[in-house]
Structure 1
């Protein structure tokens, strides 16, 4: 990843914790575990695990909308970050029982289907 792409991804993942207070503790723990460095793909996967634990919390829909708005946009590095470190961490079968997969926006849902196959919702 080049320097500009890395900077974009670091800014995006850190910025998400400022936009969504529920992510602040995840960011703080990530910084502690990584000697103050932000590793965007690891941090995004941490965000995904939190969302999977609390899919019914009110802020989750707003966060997923935020990801959707930045997915497939002008930044290829953000699209890759969201695809590889969020969408690919969701259940592969796309079970309609999985609350997070059901909440994905259209572009992210299409990416989930592309990654895991046509049996995804």
Structure 2
């Protein structure tokens, strides 16, 4: 995994203090190592449990700012380990899906084969 993905996923917990305990638990569970894809999936679960809070909207905006239509490692990390965990079959994720920015929403729809409006 690239250093940029490690830095981005760990750095999110410093930008969003609500994720600090998730990062700490991740580090404990992985012998101090950051596994970006696992950590991003952990963040997704954290976001799902706090969906309607202000920090979640800011976090989703942060992801959107760092997501690119171009295929790069950071966008792949966000796509595979965050967006793919927001199942359209789970009604509890509808609010979060509605908060996605345009690039991530486009990718979300591509992942789940939804028609682009």
> Could you tell me the TM-score, scaled by structure 1's length?
0.88
Deviates more, 1:86-95 or 1:107-116: 86-95
Shift of 1:35: 0.2
Q: State how many pairs are aligned.
A: 117
CA contact (8 A) 1:71 1:78 kept: yes
CA gap 1:97/1:64 in 2 versus in 1, 3 angstroms: closer
> Who is 1:62 aligned against?
58
One of 11, 16, 25 as aligned partner of 1:15: 11
Shift of 1:96: 9.4
SS at match of 2:37: helix
CA contact (8 A) 2:69 2:103 kept: no
CA gap 1:28/1:35 in 2 versus in 1, 3 angstroms: same
User: For the residues of structure 1 that align with 2:91 and 2:116, how far apart are their CA atoms?
Assistant: 7
User: For the residues of structure 2 that align with 1:102 and 1:78, how far apart are their CA atoms?
Assistant: 22
Shift of 1:98: 1.2
Root-mean-square deviation (Å): 2.2
> Who is 1:103 aligned against?
99
Shift of 1:92: 3.0
User: For the residues of structure 2 that align with 1:65 and 1:108, how far apart are their CA atoms?
Assistant: 10
Q: Does 1:82 align with 2:78?
A: yes
CA contact (8 A) 1:68 1:107 kept: yes
Unaligned runs of 5+ in 1: none
